[in-house]
Every structure is written in C-alpha cells, then in structure tokens.
Amino acid sequence: MILNSSSSSVSSAINTTCSSRKTPPTSRNQLSINEQLCGGKSCCCGSRRHFIQGASTALFPLVYSSTPSSASSPSDSMAMLNRLHPPRPDWYEEFYASVMNSSMKSYEAEVAGYKSQLFDNLRGKAKKVLEIGIGTGPNLKYYAADTDVQVLGVDPNRKMEKYAQTAAVAAGLPLTNFKFLQAVGEAIPVRDASVDAVIGTLVLCSVKDVDMTLQEVRRVLKPGGIYLFVEHVAAKDGTFLKFWQNVVDPLQQVVSDGCHLTRQTGNNISEAGFSSVELGNAFLSNASLISPHVYGIAHK
C-alpha cells in the first residue's frame, strides 16, 4: 500500500498477451457465506489476535486447507500473521487505517475508469469473491452490488474493518454477505478451490513474499476462477524515475507499511502458474514514484 498519490486521468500504454480464456463458473447455492467460503467448521486458537476475532469467528467459522500450504491449520495461519505482520499498537493501526481512508481518494479518482472496465469481468460470473489487502474497501463499489455476491475481505490490519464495512454498505452489499478476516496474503485461511474470483489491488507491493501470496491465490480459486490485479511496479531500468525509486525505496517501506517501489510484480504474476494471464501496462501521469502499473486478469 501507499500513502501518497495525486489525481488525474489514466494515461496508459497497453500491451496485452492472451492465451486461452476460461469462463469462471457461476455459483449457485443458498448456504451462508461462511459455509460456502469457509466450510462451516469452527476452530480455536489461543493467540491474542484470534481472541479479538471472537464473535465474528463464531458466526463465520473457518476451515483451513487440508493440503500442505501456508494455511494448513488455524495455528499456522495465525503464526504467519504474527510473523509477517507483527502486532502493532492499536493507535498505530487506527492511524494508518484512517490515513488510507482519507489519502487515497485522489488515486482512486485517477484509476476509476480503468477499474470499472476491469471489474466488469466479475458481473454475473463471480458469486464468491475474496479480496486480499481489502484495506478500507475502495474496490467494493465496482462489484459488490451484484445480487447475492458474497465477499470475504482479508487484511492484516484489523482497524480497516470498520471502513471496509462502511464501503460495503455504501456499495449495496448487505453486511450478512460481507466478512472481514485478519490475515496475510501468504496464508489465506480459506479452503482450497472455494472462491470464484480473487481481487488484489496495490497489495503485492507490501506482502513479504510475492510468490507465496500468488500460490495462495491459485490455491483458493476454483478451476476456471479469475484473479484481477492492479499493482504499481518498478520503472524501466536506466530511467530517472527508476533511480529515484531505488533511492526512496527503503524509506517507503518504513513509512508505508512495507510498500516496495522496485518490485517486478508483472513477472511474478506471469510466472506463477496460471493457465493464462492478460497483462497490461499503464502509466499514471500524476502518481509520482508509483506511476508505472501492471494490471489485468489471470485465469486458473
């Protein structure tokens, strides 16, 4: 994630490479969101964070993958959360969440047209959606108004939850169809092949392990499911922008909760083992150090 950006229209140069495209399956039953996404089994864990999840966990009990993965058990998932995102003071988590809620408006205005087009791929196709790094929920307005859509939002910062809930309500998504889960992308506590779509925008810049996160995305997607992404990436080698990204990157990681400026995230996605990837390149004209973006759709 980032803290600063500026508004303007998107100026993009798109180079799209497509292979066979699969249509995500449409889902259909009347189970509650936790039964569909999480399997309907409850779990126990003695960690402080799991205790904080308390009441909501009782209503949305989790099932973790039975196959070898970073989310193979409740304790593994919580251990990964605490290792990769060590507990911060409540005041810091609240401060960061409030800053993200207020400071990203100009960025969201700049990419609104692009996101509308990208998220159209979900309409009528994805009923069970997982969003990693959901933050304050800026993407919900693009896809959450569909009838019966069910959304599980994952973020390591628990203080994001109230903002994401507000965004869900504003988008027309009943809170009974929305669940916020405190977790990291490297250990998503959701069973294998259980969601129609995964969304991630401005999140792979901040995760500790990009490749592990992408393997988790593939694991939780149903066959034929889709992964929608928007990520800022490193500028081209030899450019003045790349020079400044290298200079500022260590400070960016400190002040922006682990955000990296120099990752080649498009390469990671292309090599993650998806059946096909539609990858575009965009340049946000007034977004300063995070101007270069990759975006697109990957199919399981």
Where residue 280 sits, what CATH number does that domain have?
3.40.50.150
The single residue listed with the structure tokens 């990964």 is 80
Tell me how far apart the alpha carbons of residues 297 and 118 are, in angstroms, rounded to a whole number: 8
pLDDT of 73 reads 57
The residues near 253 (Cβ < 8 Å, ≥ 6 apart) are 259, 260
pLDDT of 251 reads 85
Look at the chain and report how many structural domains it folds into.
Answer: 1
The residues near 81 (Cβ < 8 Å, ≥ 6 apart) are 49, 156, 182, 183, 184, 187
Q: Is residue 256 part of a domain?
A: yes
Q: Is residue 54 part of a domain?
A: no
Q: Is residue 68 part of a domain?
A: no
pLDDT of 24 reads 40
Residue 243 contacts residue 214 (beta carbons within 8 Å): no
- What is the number of alpha carbons within 13 Å of residue 212 lying toward its C-beta? 15
Which residue stretches of the chain have pLDDT < 50? 1-72
Q: Is residue 278 part of a domain?
A: yes
Q: Is residue 255 part of a domain?
A: yes
Instruction: Report the C-alpha dihedral over residues 267, 271, 273, 276, rounded to 10 degrees.
Output: 60
Q: Is residue 140 part of a domain?
A: yes
Q: Is residue 22 part of a domain?
A: no
Q: Is residue 225 part of a domain?
A: yes
Domain coverage including residue 292: 74-299
**Does pTM surpass 0.85?**
no
pLDDT of 53 reads 43
